[in-house]
A and B are shown apart, each in its own frame.
Chain A
Amino acid sequence: MKAHLTRRYRFSSSHRLHSPNMSPEENLTTYGKCNNPHGHGHNYTLEVTVSGPVDPTTGMVCNLVDLDGFVEREVLSRYDLQNLNTLQEFAEQVPTTENLSVEIYEILQRGFQNAHLERVRLEETMMNSFEYAGTNELRR
């Protein structure tokens, strides 16, 4: 039997949305308040969905200890209480939550082997959320 397991995490980061390829006026028009040079912050909620057969000996798709450990080490410790604009992956791309979803997906895709990665979802605020599923179909 194949099941999909979703785990939620939280981290807080700051960012500024600004593109060096745009004029100051274009940046302001495109990003509005998010272009404030001092940046601003969010309490992000991260959902990681993995899937796979339910192991008949443990009743699990994967052990949460393994998933939590990986996400803590490779994702949360990287982004929590950080300024995203200072990180190497955002040196040449704008740290929008779209781009952050893709970065987090790729960290998991490269490094987490215990179950199949289905999707990463990020809530930037209570009103905005983003999902990235790589080449998987996004299940509803």
Chain B
Amino acid sequence: MVYLTRKAEFSASHYYHNPAFTPEENLRIFGKCNNPNGHGHNYTLEVTVKGEVDPRSGFVVDLKQLKEIMHREVLDAMDHRFLNKEVPEFFTQIPTTENLAIAVWQRLESKLQKARLHRVRVYETPDLFVDFYGEE
């Protein structure tokens, strides 16, 4: 089994707010991240796939295809966007790094052909990242 990781960057804004909480609860739990005007990050996304090496091509997966899938399914939808207002998953759930990693996984999983998705890693900042391995 060989593991291959492709990186991408995107810039997006978001804020943390649960409409079921009172304003005081939202402020206490989310602090500055509750500012409804949002704030932004340069996110780094790492998509790790795994599979056997194809003996003819020497590839686990065609990187051109993986790059196209990542652009079409994730980056085009999220890059330079306000996540809470423009990405459907985040109309009803909070765009934390955790939920972002899960959303990226769900967008990519069924679109890969030969290789299997092993891990999605999202860096919100260089000092904070979340890994999702597809576990319920």
With A57-B20, A59-B93 as known contacts, state yes or no: A64 contacts B128, CB within 8 Å: yes
Q: Count residues on chain A whose CB falls below 8 Å from chain B CBs.
A: 22
**What is the bound-complex CA distance between A65 and B136, given in angstroms?**
25
* B96–A58 touching, CB < 8 Å: yes
CB atoms of B96 and A59 under 8 A apart: yes
**A6 interface contact, C-beta 8 A:** yes
Contact B18 A3 (CB under 8 A): no
The yes or no answer to A54 lying at the interface (CB within 8 A) is: yes
**Whole-angstrom distance from the CB of B41 to the nearest CB of chain A?**
14
Residue of B nearest to A8 (CB): B127
B135 touches A60 (CB 8 A): no
Q: CB-CB < 8 A to B30: which residues of A?
A: 58
Q: Does B49 contact A (CB under 8 A)?
A: no
| A54, chain B: closest CB distance, angstroms | 5
Against B, the Cβ 8 Å flags (1 = close, 0 = not) of A1-41 are 11111111100000000000000000000000000000000
Chain A, Cβ-Cβ closest to B48: A140
Q: Pick the contact of B128 from A7, A57, A63 — CB < 8 Å?
A: A7
Residues of B within 8 A of A7 (CB): 127-128
Most buried by B among A2, A4, A5, A59: A59
Which B residues are CB-close (under 8 A) to A110? none
CB distance A3 to B102 under 8 Å?
A: yes
A-B contact pairs, 8 of them (CB 8 A): A1-B98, A3-B130, A6-B130, A6-B131, A57-B18, A58-B96, A65-B31, A139-B119
